[in-house]
Amino acid sequence: MTNILIKNGRIIDPANKVDMIGDLLIENGKIKAVGKIKDATADTIIDAKDKIIAPGLIDLHVHLREPGREEEETIASGSAAAVTGGFTSVACMPNTDPAIDNEATVEFILNRSAAAKMANVFPVGAITKERKGESLAEMGQMVRAGAVAFTDDGSGVQDPSVMLRAFQYAKMFNKVVMQHCQDDCLAGNGCMNAGYYATILGLPGMSPLAEEIMLYRDVQLAKAAGARYHAQHLSTAGSVDIVRQAKAQGLPVTAEATPHHLLLTEKECETYDTNFKMNPPLRTQADLEALRQGVADGTIDCLATDHAPHLKSAKELEFPAAPFGIVGLDCALGLYAKALIESGTIDWPLLIKLMTINPAKILTIDKGTLSEGADADITIIDPNYKWKVDTTKFISKSQNCPYNDWQLTAKPVITIVGGQIKFQL
């Protein structure tokens, strides 16, 4: 085992309220020391002048497609894309084929990610068997195998009695239940936000109500069960308000926002470009601003890419027929910096908090800090690095991404997982 000394960087460790210029020593895969380190010897010395030394970034919402759709992404390719994007840990969603709804599939994912040796992969199990929304999946077995949370992501659990039981049951393991908030009756066959652009483009719309009604329902159910709840990818101003009010009541409700909902609006669909087709859909400028405000005031706890790889041929279909979703791991950090720091919404310490300790707490995983003795998962960021997005260079197997040619500032330059350098710019 080697040791690594990172020198002269701006150490930002929100969990320990640290923001200082200093050094960090890694030994045997763990953080050995943080601060002014003199006389240290190391096999590798990294000069981090003008760089940020942060706990390894965590994305608690990605789709790695394996098992079932390996032509779009695999655990190996997705976790390699993750480290390229500065992520040392990702939580993968259970809408695979077969779904992650049993112990064996959880173990399969952990085995594949251990073999890939890139980012840590934390499996999220399905709430219900086959994600059908009907009967509870074997949560206990999955927890024992290593599942960190539960969701039927891709669809919301429609039946409130099933959702109530899920809250009650998951509480026994202190695991969070996460929801893709979408009332299917209200969403109908919508393929973009219901509003002006859906009206003029002649495309079926999805009302903000479809998201907000399920979110509101879930908050009440979680309250009744006394369970933790995490709302995935908020997209509307109304949703931000619902979460804000839940928090004001002291309920253990958390929420995430994606780069696209913080940067793009429904207007982008004007050219029928399916790289702007996501679920929940892109909304209005007012929604985008409410989400940024929610990030600034702590209503939104963490940032998540909802990395959703799809084949080029699928995204080349007609807008209503093309699948929802875009990839995000490769370029997320620059996008968050653009949406939140360049816009003056938040500063680097808060951005790092939203990408490290906060998602770690939601998933109850022992990650997201630079505490001495912690796993040496570290991301070194150049906050002033100017670069242009080139989707053809993505490590992800898929390139369905609307940001090609975007000019971004800020990029991870080194990603260290368990004391091993996994990515270096």
| Residues within the interface to other proteins (CB under 8 A) | 194-196, 198-205, 207, 271-272, 313, 316-321
Sheet of 176-179, strands arranged across: 57-62, 87-92, 120-125, 149-150, 176-179, 229-231, 253-257, 302-303
Taking the complex as a whole, how short is the minimal distance between the CB of residue 271 and other proteins, in angstroms?
8
Taking the C-alpha atoms of residue 290 and residue 299, their distance in angstroms, rounded to an integer, is 10
Taking the complex as a whole, how short is the minimal distance between the CB of residue 63 and other proteins, in angstroms?
23
Taking the complex as a whole, how short is the minimal distance between the CB of residue 204 and other proteins, in angstroms?
8
Other Cβ atoms less than 10 A from the Cβ of 148: the count is 21
- Minimal CA–CA distance to 218: which of 234, 205, 206? 234
Catalytic residue among 59, 306, 375, 382: 306
Taking the complex as a whole, how short is the minimal distance between the CB of residue 183 and other proteins, in angstroms?
16
Taking the complex as a whole, how short is the minimal distance between the CB of residue 31 and other proteins, in angstroms?
51
Output 147 or 194, the one with its CB closest to other proteins: 194
Clarify whether 19 is annotated catalytic: no
Taking the complex as a whole, how short is the minimal distance between the CB of residue 327 and other proteins, in angstroms?
21
Output 202 or 373, the one with its CB closest to other proteins: 202
Output 186 or 341, the one with its CB closest to other proteins: 186
Output 201 or 413, the one with its CB closest to other proteins: 201
Cα distances (Å, whole numbers) of residue 12 to 53, 60, 142, 343, 369? 6, 20, 34, 21, 9
- Return the active site residues: 306
